[in-house]
Each structure stands twice: as C-alpha cells, then as structure tokens.
Amino acid sequence: MTRGRRKLLLLGPLALLALAVGCRPRAEAAPPREKLSLRLRGVDGSADLARIAAERVTVDDPHEHRALELVGVPVTRVFDAAFGPSWRTLDDVVATCADGFHPSMPVRLFLDHEGYLAYARTDGHDFYVDEQGKHTPAGPYYLVWKRTPGDAPPEPAWPYQVTGLEITDFATRTAAALPPAGASPRAREGFERFRTYCLPCHSVNGAGGQVGPELNYPTSVTEYFAEPVLRAWITDPAQVRWNARMPVPLPAEGRAQNLDAILAYLQAMAGAKRAPAP
C-alpha cells in the first residue's frame, strides 16, 4: 500500500467527508455581504441578491484572455427586482467601482447581451482579475458577459470591484461634459469616442470617472500639454512618462480617426469650462 493511500485510510470517513467538501468548486458560494447600491434616476432601490438564483456562466475574460467559469446572478433580474420594468426605458447604466472607476454603458447592452454580476470563480482560486500577471481583487462584484462567439460586448464594459449601479439618462448625468452649442460635427463625434474610451476614468467639468485627473476645469488639458505631447500621451502613455499607470486607451483599429475626434472635443470644451457640482 502506498504512503498516500495509507494516510487516507487513517483519516477516517468524517475526515474524508470534510476533505471532499473543502475541495468542492465554489459554485455554491453566497453573494458578498457588502450591499450593492442600486439607483434609478437618483432614487435608491434594493434587491436581495441571495434570493436570485445564482448560475454558472462561461465568459471570454478580457483580462486573462481565455474562457473562465464564474458564479453570479443575471444583472437584468437584479434590475427587475429593484425597479420593475421601468429601467428598460432609460438609456444609461453607470457602475461605481471601489477604485474610482465609473464606466458608463448603454441600457441596450444589457438588453442585447446576457450580463452577470459575478462574485466567485469555480476553479478554486480566490476571486480576482489578472492584470498583466498581477492579481487584483475582483469583488464584491465583477460585471461580465456570457460567452457569445463572434458577438462579444466591448472591453470597457467589464468593470470589477463593482459596489453600485445607477440607471439614468445619459444626457442628464453628463450634462456638464456635453459639447457646447455650435461645436463642430468632429467635436461631437469626439465626445462619443471620449464617452467610450476616456470618461470611465477621467472627468470633464466634474462629470465622469475619478481614477484619472479632471481634464477641463479649471485648466483644459489642451492648454498645458502641447498638442504633439497630448497626441503621444493618448496614443501610448508609456512613450511620454515612464511607468505610466494609464493603459493605451484607444484600440488599434481606427486609432488615428478616434484621436483626431477626441482632440477636437477637448479643444471645444476648453471654451466651455464649468465648475464641477459639489
């Protein structure tokens, strides 16, 4: 008899049962104890996530670049439990993340794709996202999308460390950052690109994310960065500043056109400064 088999026999049936339970995948994990903040147009809502049936979901994770199986609850069921069907008539979902990230996603994304608020992995590992080999805690919730080959939602729509979700009108939430009257079509196009690639981390006149610096008030970024430097910074921050924390924000496809449009938007906003609301 081998040493390992002898050791298992000596453990006895109760110890073996404990080992079996301890090795069970985390598919039965309960939702986090932290309460998820839910709001509809500034009004608080609530949903008992423990009463919503958890599911295993396979996703094409953009951080690990492979398929992962996670445990979570369908986010549309959470919204329905908290607000009824009225949330479906609005146009914007904003996530609040513990690290200051505030991504904005269209409501249509949640209606067209199967999103989940994941809170555990099924591979036995702690709940984390892998960012270039660094394990960053993903909880309390990680907004993910069920694998749909050939039709994956955009990468900015995978926020982790989610502590709250608000459903609102996009124009109301970002009124301070909207292009001024008379802005060129290129500047208006740039706002749409800025909304997707920049607004989750940066604010303009106080509207937007809090990970990176405010870009317009009291001084526009176009006024203290020469345009060639600003272009280089947005294209690849590492070529301007060593050990830059900001990732490359724009996808390779269409990068030049997106960059031109974003710069047109920022230049237009330099003439439309507004003090952020308290």
Reported as a single tens digit per residue, the pLDDT across 6-31 is 333 334 444 434 444 444 444 467 88
Which residue ranges form the domains of the chain, and what is each CATH number?
25-171 (3.90.420.10), 175-269 (2.60.40.420)
Are the CB atoms for 72 and 160 separated by under 8 Å? no
Are the CB atoms for 101 and 95 separated by under 8 Å? yes
Can you tell me the mean pLDDT for 46-73?
93
Measured distance CA(217)–CA(202) in Å, rounded: 12
- Whole-model pTM: value is 0.69
Tens digit of each residue's pLDDT (9 = 90 or more) over 132-143: 778 999 999 999
Measured distance CA(92)–CA(74) in Å, rounded: 18
Measured distance CA(176)–CA(275) in Å, rounded: 9
Can you tell me the mean pLDDT for 32-59?
93
- CA geometry: angle at 184 spanning 180 and 186, to 5°? 115
List the beta bridge partners of residue 59.
68
Can you tell me the mean pLDDT for 66-86?
96
Tell me the pLDDT band of 158, cut-offs 50, 70 and 90.
very high
